[in-house]
Amino acid sequence: VAGLVPQEGTFAALLLRTQALQLLTGIYEDILTPQQQQLWRENLRRMGRYEEIQEFFKEFASKLGDTAGIAMARLGDVYDDLDYPGFWVEDPEKYPSPGFGAIAMMVHLNRDSTPAELDAYLAERVPLLGGSPELEKKEYRGLEYTRIGLQQEAADLAHVSPCWILAQEHFIFASNETYFRKILDTLVDPVKHPPLREDKTFRAAMDKLPSQVHVAMFVDLEKLFRVPATAEPGGQPRGFLWDNRNDWVNEHHNPSLAATEYRKRREAEIKSRTGKPVLTMQQEMEVDKEVQRHREDHMAHYRDFLEEYRHQLEQYGRLRGLGLGIVATRDILTADLAILFRPPGRKAAEEGEQ
């Protein structure tokens, strides 16, 4: 599976041997948001084909094999040049949240399933997954794939453009078309667009693990944690967690919460000083003004909060990669872990042994 996804952008890969039913159920329960789950259930009821969503999963799983992979990638084409102007943005389409980035799934086909049959099966049931019944057949580098239209348009779906292809005995799906095409680049020309398995960090981490495992995980920690030298706009390089900096600042230094806490503190101080349980109208007006000034001052420190986050991520600069392998038997679960560190004082751009 690590031969199907590109080095470029991919920062994590989970490779596993499992029943397809368990994989589909896990994606539904652990990756989809409650709103997306509700959309699936509503579409299921509208189609009238299945009583429960597990019935669809069982039917779909019967066409798939027992080896699969999930890859996560950073959308560098979007976030390399994106800088947020402040805490909140008025145009979420212009300043989207990275979320999970791009997610790809590769599942080996069941020997009894042909690509043509599975392609037709998926085309008929795509509306169940929240896609438009109008599927678009597209061609890229001599390969034909299917792009799924979305019935609902929302700012948080700005970079969600699901695509699938049946190639090299795998069902290959990606949530973003740009990343999906990079997967196709790797399938067509692995020399010019090398796969993840050829990455030296991947090899260094995974070669430390047993060759036969039930679950294997790789994380390129540099692609995850790397940060620019300063928090100023335009700084490079950028990692996936730095792409999420605006979400972090809003979560840890939310202006509304800061203003609310300040108001509670000032009201408590006034009540304690006056000995009265409530504020007068004049006191409330004064507190309102103070809260507004405090809020404006708090928001003026946006870059300082970004620098705080940048410094936190910078502390992990020596981490290069992680590999995990798990072997399960009836009585024993064995895990092997490999962590790669960069030599002290060596910068990410420098080459050398890890």
pLDDT for 353:
37
pLDDT range class, residue 154, cuts 50, 70, 90? low
pLDDT for 39:
76
User: What is the tens place of the pLDDT at every residue in 158-182?
Assistant: 678 889 999 988 999 999 999 999 9
pLDDT range class, residue 351, cuts 50, 70, 90? very low
Instruction: Please name which of 97, 238, 103 lies closest in space to residue 179, comparing C-alpha atoms.
Output: 103
Question: Which amino acid belongs to residue 339?
Answer: I
Q: Within 13 Å of residue 246, how many CA atoms lie on the same side as its CB?
A: 17
pLDDT for 352:
42
Q: How far apart are CA 164 and CA 123, in angstroms?
A: 10
User: What is the tens place of the pLDDT at every residue in 77-130?
Assistant: 989 999 998 887 766 667 777 777 899 999 888 888 788 888 888 887 776 665
pLDDT for 230:
94
Mean pLDDT, the chain, whole residue set: 88
Highest mean pLDDT among 32-36, 146-150, 160-164, 264-268: 264-268
* Percent of the chain residues topping a pLDDT of 90: 59
Q: Residue 22 to residues 15, 119, 243, 332: CA-CA distances in angstroms?
A: 14, 21, 31, 20
Span of 22-26, 156-160, 192-196 with lowest mean pLDDT: 156-160
pLDDT range class, residue 132, cuts 50, 70, 90? low
pLDDT for 286:
96
pLDDT for 322:
97
pLDDT for 151:
60
pLDDT for 98:
77
What pTM does this model have? 0.84
How many residues does the structure list for the chain?
Answer: 354
pLDDT for 150:
72
pLDDT for 220:
97
User: What is the tens place of the pLDDT at every residue in 28-78?
Assistant: 888 777 877 887 777 777 777 777 888 888 988 888 888 899 999 999 998
pLDDT for 34:
83
* Percent of the chain residues topping a pLDDT of 70: 92
DSSP-derived secondary structure for 5-55:
SBSSSEEEEEEEE--HHHHHHHHHHHTS-HHHHHHHHHHHHHHTS-SSHHH
Q: How far apart are CA 160 and CA 202, in angstroms?
A: 27
- Enumerate residues 6+ apart whose C-beta is below 8 A from 147: 135, 136, 137, 138, 161, 162, 163, 177
Q: Which residue has the higher pLDDT, 293 or 157?
A: 293
Instruction: Please name which of 195, 200, 223, 222 lies closest in space to residue 6, comparing C-alpha atoms.
Output: 195
